[in-house]
Chain A
Amino acid sequence: MCLAVPVKIINKIDDQNVRVESRGVRFEASTMLIKDVNIGEYVLVHAGFIIQKISKKDAEELIELTK
């Protein structure tokens, strides 16, 4: 229920949504809870909402741990 996944921001859809990618899968995520995100940044997504930012290094380590 409270699991979130590290993803990379691919492009902006509109003021409240971005397209993100995780392991080749692309989906939409809401920026309502973290607005200042940029293309290429890594974030944590839970149930379709970005809840926290993470560094590229930490995101890659987290993704590696979950393989």
Chain B
Amino acid sequence: MSIARSGIRSMLSKNVNIISGPGCPVCVTPSSDINSVLELVKRHDVIIATFGDMVRVPSGGDSLQNYKNVKIVYNPLESLTLAKSNRDKEIVFIGVGFETTTPLIASVIKKAKADGIKNFSVLCMHKTVPAAIKAILDDKTSKIDGLILPGHVSAVTGSKYFDFIKSYKVTAAITGFEAKEILGSISIMVDNIEAEKHSVINNYRSVVTENGNTVAMKTMYDIFKDTDSDWRGIGNIKLSGLRIRREYEEFDSLKRFNIKQKNIKEAKGCLCGNILMGKNDPVDCGHYGKTCTPSNPIGPCMVSSEGTCAAFYKYMRR
């Protein structure tokens, strides 16, 4: 979104091509997971608590915005307040996000257990970044020379979390969110690529340290464990997602509601998957700008405020 808003692509040499990757956790959530959310919201005894981005993500022509028992929260702790004031309802928090967000949800589950809350659970669709990066770099068709790494994920995980990238023939830079920071990272990476220097640079030292927030990472792994996970546009990636540990399974919506995942096909003609992998631009999609717009999105890349299609539509339409 920052790159589109600031017009960075137009400033670069034709030799430097920026493509979007699977950096938006809402966008990489497959339709089958969205369908599980919709199965839950149809229950009369459930209140869905969610971050705002998830409300309009469609699956099978439906989305959470069509239901009254949905509460948008800024802070996931608000879902515990909902649980305490709605004892006759089941509060389900939709857990979507990478390592920046997941420790927060882990904290909420810990607090729910400490406070003895019995009518709260999390539908865990959290994912972790490294396995997806490896999947992209291991793809023989990939022609990527550099990676812009997520700044706030790194603030939590620490820069050492991405040291594995050094074993690949690419350069990478942990980067902030503003145009000046992004341009700085691109400049450093171009110099490194020309010098055939494969390195992982921390270009966001104001908030990213080597070890990150160790309390947050420990909290995350106290509650969650690594598991295989489906990513829209990529497929199943081993150990790229998180699931709630058995000791906390009373807070696991999948177990609590015996949710059986259905295999839901993505909308016909929707290129979100390819766009997430950098194999297509939004303009390559037949729906983009015609049947798929921010007010009537077909895929998550147009719904999410961080989605590639949403960014293109807002800032790069001609």
- A contact residues vs B (CB 8 Å cutoff): 1-4, 30, 32-35, 44, 46-49, 51-52, 54-55, 58-59, 61-62, 65-66
Q: A51–B156 contact, CB under 8 A? A: yes
Please name all residues of chain B whose beta carbon is closer than 8 Å to the beta carbon of A33 when the two chains form the complex.
103-104, 107, 213, 215-216, 219
Given A1-B51, A34-B215, do A51 and B152 touch, yes or no (CB 8 Å)? yes
Residues of B within 8 Å of A3, CB to CB, are 152, 177
CB-CB under 8 A from A30, the residues of chain B are: 75, 77, 107
Offer 21 A-B interface pairs, CB within 8 angstroms, sorted by A. A1-B25, A1-B101, A1-B306, A2-B98, A2-B101, A2-B153, A4-B207, A30-B77, A30-B107, A32-B110, A32-B111, A33-B107, A46-B101, A46-B152, A47-B74, A48-B75, A48-B76, A49-B107, A51-B156, A52-B155, A62-B207
The answer to whether B76 touches A34 (Cβ under 8 A) is: no
Per CB-CB distance, the 8 closest pairs between chain A and chain B, nearest first, are A48-B75, A58-B206, A2-B100, A65-B178, A52-B155, A33-B216, A32-B107, A49-B104
Q: Known pairs A1-B51, A46-B104, A49-B103. 20 more at Cβ < 8 A?
A: A1-B25, A1-B306, A2-B97, A2-B100, A2-B101, A3-B177, A4-B100, A4-B152, A4-B155, A32-B107, A34-B216, A44-B152, A46-B100, A46-B152, A47-B75, A48-B74, A49-B107, A52-B207, A65-B180, A65-B181
- Choose among B150, B209, B213, B216 the residue that contacts A2 (Cβ–Cβ < 8 A): B150
Name the residue on A nearest B103 (C-beta): A33
A58 to B209, alpha carbons, bound, how many Å? 13
Nearest CB in chain B: distance from A9 CB, A: 16
B residues in contact (CB < 8 Å) with A: 24-26, 51, 53, 74-77, 96-98, 100-101, 103-104, 107, 110-111, 150, 152-153, 155-156, 176-178, 180-181, 206-207, 209, 212-213, 215-216, 219, 304-306
A54 contact set on B, CB distance < 8 A:
206-207
- State the majority secondary structure of interface residues on B: loop
Contacts of B110 in A (CB 8 A): 32
Report the bound CA distance from A46 to B100 in whole Å. 8
Residue of A nearest to B53 (CB): A1
- Most chain A beta-carbon neighbours within 10 Å: one of B26, B213, B306: B213
B153: chain A residues at CB < 8 Å are 2
Distance (Å) between the CB of B212 and the closest chain A CB? 8
Taking each of B24, B26, B103, B104, which has the highest tally of chain A beta carbons within 10 Å of its own beta carbon?
B104
CB neighbours of B77 from chain A (8 A):
30, 48
Residues of chain B within 8 A (CB-CB) of A62 are: 176, 206-207
Report how far A27 CA is from B68 CA in the complex, Å.
27
Identity of the chain B residue whose Cβ is nearest the Cβ of A29 in the assembled complex:
B75
Most buried by A among B100, B101, B153: B100
Chain B residues near A35 (CB, 8 Å)? 215
Task: Please give the distance in Å from B144's CB to the nearest CB on chain A.
Answer: 21
Complex Cα distance, B152 from A51, in Å, reads 9
Q: Which chain A positions have C-beta within 8 A of B100?
A: 1-2, 4, 46, 51
Select the residue from A49, A51, A54 with max chain B CB neighbours within 10 A.
A51
**Contacting residues, chain A, for B219 (C-beta < 8 A):** 32-33
**Across the interface, do B76 and A47 meet the contact criterion of CB distance under 8 Å?**
yes
A6 to B206, CA, bound (A): 11
Instruction: Give bound CA distance, A35 to B209, whole Å.
Output: 17
